[in-house]
Amino acid sequence: MAAALIACTPEYNWREQTVADERAMIAFPARAQTEQRPIQFGDVPLNFSLTAANVGPAVFAVGYAALPAGLTGAQSDALVQGVVASLFAQGGQPVTPAALKGETFELQTMVAKQASWMMARVVVHRGMLIQAVASGPKDALPREQAIEFMRSLVLK
């Protein structure tokens, strides 16, 4: 039975990759791919990039967007609040002050009627909004792997 459990465990092949126009480095547990698209966040247009890797149904992702020139500190703070609030809305929980200060947080969620969870962090660093998220079903996203992903985020 132990051999069967080991065979079903996803393999994590960690590799470091720069993201956010070389403003950050993070270790992904599998080959990551990047997609880009324009988004409108409130009255702020952003060119949003998402670099993500999957291990089974678990997703490890870093989303980032350069903040427009001339954005005020208040507008930047509002942007972070909006991004953090959108994540907390998935868990139906109130936003915590620590999450707004760029600290890592965890949320319990439901995805496709399946108990899931996420570990996330949202920061603004050197004019770049950066959002790191590890998420997936509770039985498919080991806590240790999510912690490893979040700890590997290094702002440069």
- What's the rounded Cα separation, in Å, for the pair 61 and 67? 19
In 9-137, where does DSSP find H-type helix?
73-91, 97-100
Give residue 43's pLDDT band: very low, low, confident or very high (50, 70, 90).
Answer: confident
Which pLDDT score, from 0 to 100, does residue 116 have? Answer: 94
Q: pLDDT tens digit string along 107-122?
A: 998 877 888 999 999 9
CATH code for the domain of 114: 3.40.1000
Which pLDDT score, from 0 to 100, does residue 11 have? Answer: 78
Q: pLDDT tens digit string along 46-71?
A: 999 999 999 999 999 999 999 998 88
Give yes or no for residue 1 having a pLDDT over 70. no
CA-based nearest residue to 122, from 77, 80, 153, 85: 80
Give the residue, 114 or 150, on which the prediction is more confident. 150
Surface-to-core class of residue 25, CB atoms within 10 Å of its CB (0-12 exposed, 13-18 middle, 19+ buried): middle
Which pLDDT score, from 0 to 100, does residue 110 have? Answer: 83
Say how far residue 87 (Cα) sits from the centre of its chain: 10
Q: In the chain, what is the greatest distance between 2 CA atoms, to the nearest angstrom? A: 60
Which pLDDT score, from 0 to 100, does residue 3 have? Answer: 42
Cβ count within 10 A of residue 79? 20
Domain count, the chain: 1
Which pLDDT score, from 0 to 100, does residue 73 have? Answer: 87
149, 105, 20, 145 alpha-carbon torsion, rounded to 10°: 10
CA-based nearest residue to 91, from 108, 72, 113: 108
Give residue 98's domain range: 2-155
CA-based nearest residue to 141, from 18, 51, 49, 29: 29
- What's the rounded Cα separation, in Å, for the pair 89 and 70? 29
Give residue 10's pLDDT band: very low, low, confident or very high (50, 70, 90).
Answer: low
Give yes or no for residue 127 having a pLDDT over 60. yes
